[in-house]
Amino acid sequence: MNYIGMDIHKKFTYAVVKDEQGKQFTEDKLSNTLEEFAEFLSQFKPEETSIVIESSSVWEHIYTLLESLEYKKIKLANPLKVKAIAHAKIKNDKVDANMLADLLRANLIPESYVPPAETRRLREFTRSRKMIVKQATQVMNRIHAHFTRRGITMPRRTFCKEVVAFVKEHAENDAVLGYYVAVLESLRAQLGAIDTKMRAMAQENENAKLLMTIPGIGAIRAMSIIAEIDTIRRFPSEKHFSSYAGLVPTIRQSGSTLHVGRISLQASMQLKHALVQAALTAAHMKRANVLQDCYRKLAVIKGKQKALVAAARKLSSIAYAMLWNKREFSYSYSSR
């Protein structure tokens, strides 16, 4: 078996190849192109080769490139955990590639989950929507600030039809405001197109249909959650799923000393955001539901912020059970 450690960068990759005994076959610095990778890997049969790459901003390009060359045994290393295992005082591309190859030989690579290509494309789509929403919010904030500088009070804080008409009226004689309005309308048009497509996708996805029966989760939010989960079967328990969503506290234990800290930041922030927003929506719905009850009881005792996180955690438990058992939500539903 050949073991290849690849230290990847935006424009190039440093690769080191070793055998089962740790003897180095070869090493090389490659441009991140299909041609150079194909030439370098031509001497190593896919079925006899295992490759490890470290998760970075360009990992997907390299992963897809290796898949196109029919290499199936590819591991994506978690960079935080790799550094904990193999922290070296001397650090360069060659050292990193060598260390990755050695960890791969010893089966000590802490892997990151790699979803199929279809799910990776869906993630790009749902995350681009979040980026557009953020940009639109920034423009609306700039419009508010613009009116404040002019000493003009807007009729409402939210951008309803009345406010939009008010802004457009003032924009006729204000070039800067006109620019903001044009940018905002463009972003809203793009957002509308994305939302239409996501709603159509949700109607064709069985898991999304299940999630949409939960209070606070509509088509768009359901698809955002599905994109981050991929398949619920990769989580062996509800606790693993909630941990992945960043909704469980950190725990440090040494001997008889146990310290429970804040919720973990090493999680899927996209999934966490979707669940927290869904819990917030459910907590303020007119119709009573289990998430609203959880939120209101804890808000009095621990405050709104902690109550919201607790409601999101409960939501993650319910969503996990529903997706695992293929069961729709009921207003009498309670988590296991």
Distance (Å, whole) CA 15 – CA 27:
5
Element (H, E) at 50: strand 49-54
CATH code given to domain 2-105 = 3.30.420.140
Q: Give domain limits for the chain.
A: 2-105, 117-204, 219-325
Residue 31's DSSP bridge partners are 12
Work out the average pLDDT over 133-149.
95
Q: Which two tokens stand for residue 81?
A: 């955990």
* SS3 label, residue 288: coil
Q: Which residue has the higher pLDDT, 198 or 332?
A: 198
Indicate the DSSP class of residue 46: G
Q: What pLDDT does 189 receive?
A: 96
Whether the pLDDT of residue 311 is over 90: the answer is yes
Q: Is 9 helix (H, G, I), strand (E, B) or coil?
A: coil
CB atoms within 10 A of CB 5: 28
Look at residues 30, 175, 170 and name the one whose alpha carbon lies nearest to residue 97: 30
Task: Specify the amino acid at residue 63.
Answer: Y
d(C-alpha 273, C-alpha 224), whole Å: 10
| Angstrom distance (rounded) from CA 103 to CA 4 | 10
Both tokens assigned to 202 = 């949700």
Q: What is the pTM of this model?
A: 0.84
What are 112-139's pLDDT values in tens digits? 899 999 999 999 999 999 999 999 999 9
Instruction: Judge whether 50 and 2 are in contact, CB under 8 Å.
Output: yes
Pairing label, strands 49-54, 12-18? unpaired
Contact yes or no for 84/17 (Cβ under 8 A)? no
| Tens-place pLDDT, residues 156-165 | 888 989 999 9
Does pLDDT of 258 surpass 50?
Answer: no
In this predicted model, which residue has the larger pLDDT, 254 or 26?
Answer: 26
- Residue 40 half-sphere exposure toward CB, CA atoms < 13 A: 22
